[in-house]
Structures are given as structure tokens and as C-alpha cells.
Amino acid sequence: MSPIRIVFSLPPTLLLLSSFLVLGGCSAPEGNITDGKRWYSMHNCHACHGQNGNDGRAPNIAGLDMSYRAFLSRLRETETAVMPRYPKEKINDQDAADILVYLKSLD
């Protein structure tokens, strides 16, 4: 039996459920602005990027226009020796999503 025939022979409910699982694994966690502001402060991001994300000595990150995956990659494996790396143990994926949505909310 061909793979296509197998897929179409699955019960619709099972097919729908498996689609949600695949899509859920590919999407970013939903961020929370209030939590993001707290994590931004707690992890001392403001020490270099400034209180408003645009008033520090490091690059402007206020209104950041970056995907979650790109942000997570930059957070985990920075491209500069000045910014510390933040492994998952220090800033988990949900906290990173919170920080990103907070940064996107800044003017």
C-alpha cells in the first residue's frame, strides 16, 4: 500500500490530531509582555541595551523585528564576544518568547 493511500485510510480524527501535533511542535510559545519586561530586567539585559531597549551602549533592540527562532538562536549562540550566551537552563524557551514579545512592544 502506498504512503498516500495509508494517510487517506486513517480516521479523520486521527489525521486531524496528528496535524495539530506536527504544527504545535513547529510553532513558538506565545509570549507575555509583562513577564518579558520582568525577565528583561532580571537577566540584566537593560545593563547594556538600556531600560527601553534603545538607550544603552549595546545595539538597539526596541521594536525588534526578528522571528522567535532567530531570536532564540541569537540568545543561545551570540555572534559577539561581548554578549553572554544564555543557555536553556538560564533562559528557557517560554521566557525567551516573553522577552521577545516585550521587545517587539517597545517603540
pTM listed for this prediction: 0.74
Query: Domain 33-105 falls in which CATH fold?
Result: Cytochrome Bc1 Complex; Chain D, domain 2 (1.10.760)
pLDDT class of 81 with cuts at 50, 70, 90 = confident
Q: Helix axis angle, 33-42 relative to 93-105, nearest 10°?
A: 100
What local confidence, expressed as pLDDT, does residue 27 receive? Answer: 77
105/99 Cα distance (integer angstroms): 10
58/45 Cα distance (integer angstroms): 10
Q: What does DSSP assign to residue 30?
A: P
**Could you state, in order of their start, the residue ranges of all structural domains in the chain?**
33-105
Q: Which residue type does 48 have?
A: C
Q: Which three cell numbers, joined as nine digits, stand for 102? A: 516585550
In whole angstroms, how large is the CA radius of gyration of the chain?
19
